Amino acid sequence: MIRVSGPDAIPIVAPMLRSPQPLAAFPSHVLRRVGIIDPKSGERVDEALCAVMFAPRSYTGDDVVEISCHGSPALVRLVTRWIVAGGARLAEPGEFTRRAFLNGRVDLAQAEAVALMIGARTERAVALAARALAGGLADQARAWRDTLVALIAGLEVVLDFPDERIGYDPETARETIARLRAEVDRSVIAARHGRVVHDGVTVALVGPPNAGKSSLLNALLGRDRAIVSPTPGTTRDVVEGTVAIAGVPVRILDTAGLDESRDPIEAEGMRRSRLAIEESDLLLVVLDSSVPPDRRILEETATRARIVVLAKSDLPRHADAAALENTVRASTLRSGGTDVLLERLAQEVEQRASESGDEGAIVTSLRQLQVIEALSESLASSASALEQVPLEAALVDLKSALCLVGQILGVDVGDAVLDRIFATFCVGK
């Protein structure tokens, strides 16, 4: 599908279409079968479907022409070349959504939700992005803005007419700020959980050589991703795969066994293993249950969030391994041998993604999350200022909070911020 948006979209596309009705006379939002022709020779090159959406009732708010032709890359390139030769230009990343924002079709929070929807990797992430696209965060931000506007106006009345007993008294203002900050803090927590659902969780498989890490990776992914061999040290580099657990994308890293290095390659593999440990949200410390546990690895990972996995549980357990507490047994040879581990992983993932399900959860871009966190800090400063400094100083913090809410909705946002936001979009949006 080729989309052309702008005030000249119809006259640019019209010369390369053949139909009983001129393109400008097409009814809006109705598909019509057309022939695509070479605008110079008149030679027909394809049969396609075409729709016109007249401004302002289009995604961008401008006139839009959409052509659904056959999917040959060569054909698409040819038609696109003709459109550009007719006076159009190739869209920048996110340009259609940026135009929708500038033309008032969506606010900035909804525009960023489009990128979140495109990047969603699980059904749960799609549901949260759809909530944001429907205005979930935007509705909250507008309510915050209304409260702040009323609060600032009420305090300025007090400042201008101190003897009239109108507007907000400081105690009422502090109570209003406290309620507002509590709402914002709940949104911060919900947004952090939403980011976990969207970005996923990183889990590293760590342990001594030949403990069964690679076999466990393959079992968790449901496919052969890592090479498995009885020879210790087979895994030299970090091997990874992704699986959905509890509706959250979980990136699993299989790392080289931690031991004394015998050559520079093994040393580099172990260095990368420790880097993987640092970037992971959760460790699966994998030990061979048939041999004495490696105490050095248990000590090295003791301060990290981890699950200790006794692999190869189909073999007789060593007494020292059996004595370890809070472990999960796993076998990649028995049917259902990883079910308990998957249940435990789901619990850990769900704990990070949500405290009480997805009710009330929101997903935000990193920029939005940073703005909401800054808003909470600004409200805290405002409450303190009302107790300690003149009213004029407290109003400075409240107006700063109002500006932060405006950044969520796209009020008075500069081009530099917009460039950063829409650069993350794909070209087609």
Co-location of 219 and 320 in the same domain: yes
The kind and range of the H/E element at 122 are none
Co-location of 214 and 349 in the same domain: yes
Q: Is the dihedral of CA 268, 270, 273, 278 positive or negative?
A: negative
Co-location of 400 and 341 in the same domain: no
Co-location of 224 and 308 in the same domain: yes
Coil/strand/helix, residue 348: helix
Co-location of 24 and 6 in the same domain: yes
What is the model's pTM?
Answer: 0.72
- Residue pair 324/336 in contact (Cβ under 8 Å)? The answer is no
Co-location of 257 and 383 in the same domain: no
Co-location of 223 and 292 in the same domain: yes
pLDDT at 10: 96
Alpha carbon distances (Å) from 23 to 79, 147, 398: 16, 49, 53
Give CA 216 to chain center in angstroms. 28
Co-location of 240 and 348 in the same domain: yes
pLDDT < 70 stretches in the chain:
158-168, 225-237, 259-263, 265-266, 355-361, 389, 412-414, 417, 420-421, 427
User: Among 292, 323, 353, which residue terminates a domain?
Assistant: 353
* Whole-number Å distance between alpha carbons of 293 and 72: 58
pLDDT at 423: 74
Residues 6+ apart with CB under 8 A from 390: none
Co-location of 273 and 233 in the same domain: yes
User: Per the domain annotation, does 349 fall within a domain?
Assistant: yes
pLDDT in tens, 261-287: 666 766 777 778 778 888 888 998 988
User: Among 329, 353, 377, which residue terminates a domain?
Assistant: 353
Q: Is the dihedral of CA 295, 297, 303, 307 positive or negative?
A: negative
pLDDT at 271: 78
Co-location of 13 and 124 in the same domain: no
* Whole-number Å distance between alpha carbons of 157 and 262: 76
Co-location of 231 and 308 in the same domain: yes
Q: State the virtual CA torsion across 211, 213, 214, 216 in degrees, nearest 10.
A: 120
- Residue pair 47/18 in contact (Cβ under 8 Å)? The answer is no
User: Per the domain annotation, does 103 fall within a domain?
Assistant: no
User: Among 56, 90, 124, which residue terminates a domain?
Assistant: 90
Give CA 366 to chain center in angstroms. 8
pLDDT at 356: 47
Which CATH number fits the domain that encloses residue 380?
Answer: 1.20.120.430
pLDDT at 363: 80
Bridge partner residues of 307 (DSSP) = 284
User: Per the domain annotation, does 78 fall within a domain?
Assistant: yes
The C-alpha angle 215, 218, 223, rounded to 5 degrees, equals 145
Co-location of 306 and 417 in the same domain: no
Which CATH number fits the domain that encloses residue 38?
Answer: 3.30.1360.120
Q: Domain containing 189: what range?
A: 111-196+365-422
User: Per the domain annotation, does 57 fall within a domain?
Assistant: yes
Which CATH number fits the domain that encloses residue 236?
Answer: 3.40.50.300
Closest residue by Cα to residue 64 from 28, 115, 113, 38: 28
Alpha carbon distances (Å) from 62 to 11, 99, 100, 110, 344: 14, 8, 8, 18, 51
User: Per the domain annotation, does 102 fall within a domain?
Assistant: no
Q: Which amino acid is at 157?
A: V
User: Per the domain annotation, does 100 fall within a domain?
Assistant: no
User: Per the domain annotation, does 284 fall within a domain?
Assistant: yes
pLDDT at 262: 64
User: Per the domain annotation, does 98 fall within a domain?
Assistant: no
Work out how many domains the chain is built from and give that number: 3
